[in-house]
Amino acid sequence: MNNQELKKYHTFFTTPLLAMGQNIPGEPDLRINETATRARAGLLNVLSSVTMFLLVVKPELDPVIFVGPYVIFDMTTAAIFGLVPLSPTGFIGTSATMKLNPVWKPIKPKRFAWTLGGVLGITCLSFRLLGLSNIWLLSVLGICFILTWLEAVLGFCVGCWLHGIFFGCEDCKLDGSCDE
């Protein structure tokens, strides 16, 4: 299928609404727009860096108590319903990339990666609620920062790579990306 034919499947909302991804003819499973997922990762990367900065410079603002639930909600809704319309960062990332060509990737590795992201959010928030020192929070936030940077900048999804190792993925390559 050529690029023009694939472009017509590039819509803001999935069909049906709240489907995890798009049905692309010739593909066995649902697909998700990698361009939008990388934009979302970039937004989450900025959020993690600002949270770390505030935690170091102004710890009395207690950013984790606000950012933690947001990230947990965002990752959970993305893992269950896809990027739009319920994942706030997915909504913004998809909106920002609507004029760019879509790159269709398998959804299962992304779902696994977002589930792991939700677990990191739960871990960070739990550390905060348990009153652990900021070094523990900064450690989890640092992991989040590195993982979102790898996805946004290099296109390497560690969660997708792990999905390929644990569950196998015919489309997944060793570099953490997936074939179109």
> What percent of the chain shows pLDDT beyond 90?
71
Is 1 inside any structural domain? no
Residues of the chain with pLDDT under 70: 1-10, 170-180
Is 48 inside any structural domain? yes
Q: Which residue has the tokens 């677990």?
A: 119
Is 91 inside any structural domain? yes
Domain hosting residue 104, numbered range? 32-167
Distance (Å, whole) CA 113 – CA 132: 26
Q: What is the pTM of this model?
A: 0.89
Q: How many structural domains comprise the chain?
A: 1
**The predicted structure's pLDDT at residue 173:** 55
- Residues 19-58: tens digit of each pLDDT: 788 888 888 888 999 999 999 999 999 999 999 999 999 9
Residue 32's DSSP bridge partners are: 105
Q: Give me the amino acid identity at 137.
A: L
Is 13 inside any structural domain? no
Is 6 inside any structural domain? no
